[in-house]
Structure 1
Amino acid sequence: MSLRKYLTSGVFFAQILAAMAIVAVISFLFFHWITYTTHHGQEITVPNLAKLSVEQAEEQLSALDLDFVVLDTVDFKPDFPKLTVVEQEPKAGAKVKEGRKIYIKINASTYTMVALPDLIEKTYRQAVPTLEAVGLQEGTISYRPYLGKDMVLEMSMNGKKLKAGDKILKSSKIDLVLGDGKVTYEETVDTTTVDTTQMPPLDGQ
């Protein structure tokens, strides 16, 4: 059979159709495999892990084929139970793929200890921001007679007098004794009568 007759024969067209069918099947299987291995279109909603223990968070994430990594322990937050999740990334509600790692931070078991700053002879307006800067709070304010108004004279907590550098739990309330700016002076004026007759005469008199 000549080439011309072969190219126009039914056998040639049948072979062409068979080859196209094979290519189509292979392409379908390939793209189906790619979709399966990359989980294309399969997204998982990240659950809210806030206030869950590490064990509870692991249980929830494992059920969704997600993994997790504990990044750090943060300063104690009273709004969260101790040793529970306070932060997570990605955030709750985010869409991720299977096997994605969720990074979490855990609440400390208690407040950390901080050093009490030196507030003596500082004004009240200076003292409060200084306390807050190290994580302490303003407690009860009382006054004592003193020349400097609103000047810190004493620091205490639960009735115990404190000094600069003392270690106390973060978030503690520090009571301050301030000067009231009112000091009573007792003045005694001695009036002396001067006897001018006993004074030596002035020159020329």
Structure 2
Amino acid sequence: MTVRVLSAADRTPVPWKNGGGLTREIAAYPPGAGMGDFEWRVSAAEVASDGAFSRFEGVDRVITVLSGAGLDLAVAGEPVRLTPQSEPFAFPGDAVVFAHVLAGPVSDLNVMVRRGLWRADVERLEIEATVNLTSDADACLILAEHPLSLSGLVALEPGDVVRIERGDTVKLLPRAGAASVLVIELTRI
């Protein structure tokens, strides 16, 4: 079994492709891949002001608002409102996207996959008691939105990620009341 904990505190900020902000890479494949040659990439960002999203030709994206009031997006001219209560939102990375910050900074999770190579499925799960999670995906990342315990041994803080491989199972339990996680499953097509 291969289980790795990726601490939020260890992430280095990197400028956005369009220079309009900072992102913190959580994981990418292949390891060490840059913005031009990743097959998949998972990152967290803070959006502090209105602006256009970077375009990524041949890439599919999923964005999930983690905190803040939310974002009003215009995706190829179509309006979409995202808040921390919204489901993850998938869109083509080569679409023209403009974001309006509703009130104050917003932090979000971005998942990007090369179209035709990988598929990304992102789901928010509410956890009230111990839960065992198993993935059949090629790679699975579980982002803690609240304090959790991993197998009763490792404390996870908000923003920490557990990475597991196909067939691995992890036991998660909330440390204080209910908690939520984002489960990111990445499957080679």
Structure 2 length-normalised TM: 0.21
Give 1 or 2: higher strand fraction: 2
Greater RCO structure (CA 8 Å; 6+ sep):
2
